[in-house]
Amino acid sequence: MRKPRILVFASGSATGGGSGFENLVKQAHEQVLDAHIAAVVSNHEHGGVRQRADKLKVPFIHFPRPWSWDAYRRIAEDSGADFFALSGWLKLVLGLDPALTFNIHPGPLPDFGGEGMYGHHVHEAVMEAYGRGEISFSAVCMHFVTAEYDRGPIFFRYKVKIEDGNTPDTIGNRVNQCEHRWQPEITNLVVHREITWDGDDPKSLRTPDGYKIVRSDS
């Protein structure tokens, strides 16, 4: 039986990044994720994602400007992928089927999402809100992707309790550990059509019987 093919989008940086992509590949090998990673896409031609892809022998696709509707469609069609997983991809996505495209976000959505809210920016905003007494948890969220940053239907939220003494770096490390723990397992539910939506109406979101969108580490 043919396994679902996933095209991963992971910006990384000119010198690092891509740990989430690498974790998906390893978990696919260990069959936590019952899927095939068709290729990985980055806007950095020789950055951290490329280095990990070469080490893992996963095809690498360099995606420079313009990040247009036509460019996304061309990459998607050429890859032969069934699903599109954003794992640290920092560009607005256009042209991919929103029913088949999903993202992982390192903070509570929708309040800590939107353009410019990624990585350390999210963790700083979370800790500032914690300092004002507004929140007590950060989170890992997964959601389907629409043409607006971080606004598609959320199908997974794992709450990470903020502890006294946490900093943006330390809460970021804890959130990242939870991302690596849950991303492959929840991705598996999506690519095997146990979590779905019609790409248009958020009310069409469907999850397995007994599935809880919100989980917690405490």
Quote the pLDDT of residue 218: 62
Amino acid code (one letter) for 75: I
Share of the chain above pLDDT 70, in %: 100
Residue of 84, 88, 106 whose CA lies nearest to 48: 88
- What is the β-pairing status of strands 137-144 and 101-105? antiparallel
Q: Tens of pLDDT along 115-159?
A: 999 999 999 999 999 999 999 999 999 999 999 999 999 999 999
Query: The CATH number of the domain where 86 resides is what?
Result: 3.40.50.170
Q: Report the C-alpha gap between 148 and 3 in whole angstroms.
A: 30
State the pLDDT at residue 216.
86
Residue 70: what pLDDT?
98
- pLDDT tens digit string along 78-127? 999 999 999 999 999 999 999 999 999 999 999 999 999 999 999 999 99
CB 181 within 8 A of CB 215: no
Q: What is the pLDDT of residue 1?
A: 83
pLDDT tens for 167-213 read 999 999 999 999 999 999 999 999 999 999 999 999 999 999 999 99
Residue range(s) defining the domain that contains residue 46: 5-216
Say what the pLDDT of residue 217 is.
Answer: 73
Backbone angles phi, psi at 189, to 5 degrees: -65, -35
3-33 pLDDT, tens digit each: 999 999 999 999 999 999 999 999 999 999 9
For 151-188, b/e burial (b = at least 16 CB within 10 A) is: bbbbbbbbbbebeeebebeebbebbbebbbebbbebbb
The edge-to-edge listing of strands for the beta sheet with 154-161 is 60-62, 36-42, 5-9, 83-86, 101-105, 137-144, 154-161, 214-216
Give pLDDT tens digits for 22-61: 999 999 999 999 999 999 999 999 999 999 999 999 999 9
Per the DSSP assignment, residues forming a β-bridge with 85 are 8, 102
Q: Indicate the number of domains in the chain.
A: 1
